[in-house]
Amino acid sequence: VPADATAAPDAAPDAPPAIDDDHDGHPAEADCDDHDPAVWQDLAYGFRDADGDGRTVASAGTICSGASLPRGFLVAASLPDCDDTDPAVFDLVNGFIDLDRDGVGAGPLMAVCSNGTLPASFAATGTDCAPGDATAWQVLGYNFRDGDGDGAVIAQAGTQCSGARLPPGFFVDPPANRPFDCDDSDPAIAVPLTVFADADHDGFGAGASQLACTAAGAPPAGFSTSGTDCDDGDPAVWASLAYTAVDFDGDGVTAPASGTRCTSGTLAPPFFAAAHGHDCNDDDPALTRFVVLYPDHDGDGVGAPPRQIACIGDALPAGLVVGGYDVDDGDPAAIEDGDADDIFDLIVNS
């Protein structure tokens, strides 16, 4: 019997040696790249700097690494990069496309990836009124123009796409020594006249003034040189006159009032420019004046307090008189015998 036939079997056979092809001290099963001794572990990153400009973009993942993440892979963010493929551009700048390169752009506001300044084809402002014309970029207002080039101008407000100043033929202020042109399309007509529309043809116009072009200086049909018509729909009236008194009840006595009336040149009743009396009730022609009256109970023609202010006509109401110094209004003779001091006191105290 062979000597080893009865020997006990090997309880733990020798394990095969670990594989480490790149000899970096990390076995293949734990090495993320067993063919590169410089890397052996997967490390997580959250940001990239692929173009090496020191700015990052958010990009999460893992990469087979050595003791630390390789260049261009970072855990923490740096300044943001708008283009991680080009180290020459890294910052977003807002601008407008400037096709004609006049320094003023147009169109929608755009974010441009650049080195921090706008490229030559972009501008910081977007108000170019002529994006394809480098000689014009801003809207300027004008108040006068010479459209037919005859040297005369018209008063016309508007705006014009311009360069640094308005183009020829457009002016903010009236040019010196230039006449006003009544027809800027016809140099043969040159007599301007300020007129107002006269809808009712009564010779008086209304509304905003207009510049009419005439040969002889006379207003054209339907217009007037006067703009004071207070009712341009009624040819019977045209002048607005103020009144200070009215007489609505027609009794010849006015009450104070103020306002204006559209007239044919004169005020007509019941409206008056000056007062005539002081009507206490302009709704009743029988009542025309305020009078202080006293009761006269004894009928002697002299009353006594209490006094009252009444709106009356020509006649005094029955039982009331103007005088109020009767010392005894129950005795018709008492006023003649009354003491002067008593009469004075009665007048003062009433």
Report d(CA 240, CA 260) in Å as an integer. Answer: 6
φ/ψ (deg, to 5) at 335? -65, -30
Tell me if 278 sits within 8 A of 246, measured CB to CB: no
Instruction: Write down the residue that tokens 């993942």 correspond to.
Output: 61
Task: Enter the pTM of the model.
Answer: 0.41
Which tokens hold the place of 28?
């293949």
pLDDT on residue 10: 58
Neighbouring CB atoms inside 10 A of 39's CB total 21
pLDDT on residue 230: 95
Tell me if 235 sits within 8 A of 244, measured CB to CB: no
Tell me if 246 sits within 8 A of 267, measured CB to CB: no
pLDDT on residue 6: 58
pLDDT on residue 314: 87
Tell me if 271 sits within 8 A of 246, measured CB to CB: yes
- Which ranges of the chain does DSSP label H, i.e. alpha helix? 334-337, 340-349
pLDDT < 50 stretches in the chain = 1, 336-344, 346-350
pLDDT on residue 344: 47
57-65 sheet: strands from edge to edge: 57-65, 41-48, 73-74
Cis peptide before 87 (omega within 30 of 0): no
pLDDT on residue 1: 47
Cis peptide before 269 (omega within 30 of 0): no
pLDDT on residue 216: 66
Secondary structure letter of residue 101 according to DSSP: -
Neighbouring CB atoms inside 10 A of 236's CB total 10
pLDDT on residue 13: 65
